[in-house]
Amino acid sequence: QKEVEQDPGPLSVPEGAIVSLNCTYSNSAFQYFMWYRQYSRKGPELLMYTYSSGNKEDGRFTAQVDKSSKYISLFIRDSQPSDSATYLCAGGDTGGFKTIFGAGTRLFVKA
């Protein structure tokens, strides 16, 4: 079992839709979580990171962590064609300095 599981998609939505991207993790030592956006043939760009359960909002993006179910989500409101990219989730272990990435979900936002 992979430590971080992520549906590869692709996920296709119309412009303006609310997008929900999800990951599950198995390592109980993970205490912080990150979301990255990666455009084709570019490096991943850090969108947000969260350190605890609950929600964290930044503009159109909301990251949600539920440690009891080991489930993390990224919501994108009012999605735009420019949001079309691969989204990577990652879990981090503060004790072992270990960071594990999911395989990424490919998102297409159609104009």
Q: How far is the CB of 92 from another protein (least distance, A)?
A: 6
d(CA 31, CA 2): 17
Among 63, 83, 102, 107, the residue binding another protein under the rule CB under 8 A is: 102
d(CA 60, CA 93): 27
Other CB atoms closer than 10 Å to residue 46's CB: what's the count? Answer: 11
Nearer residue to another protein within complex by CB, 40 or 82: 40
Separation of first and last alpha carbons in the chain: 37
Choose the stretch contacting another protein; rule: CB under 8 A; options: 20-28, 33-41, 53-61, 67-75: 33-41
Q: Are 6 and 23 in contact (CB under 8 A)?
A: yes
| 97: contact with another protein by CB under 8 A | yes
| 99: contact with another protein by CB under 8 A | yes
Binding site for another protein (CB under 8 A): 31-32, 34, 36, 41-46, 49, 51, 88, 92-95, 97-99, 101-104
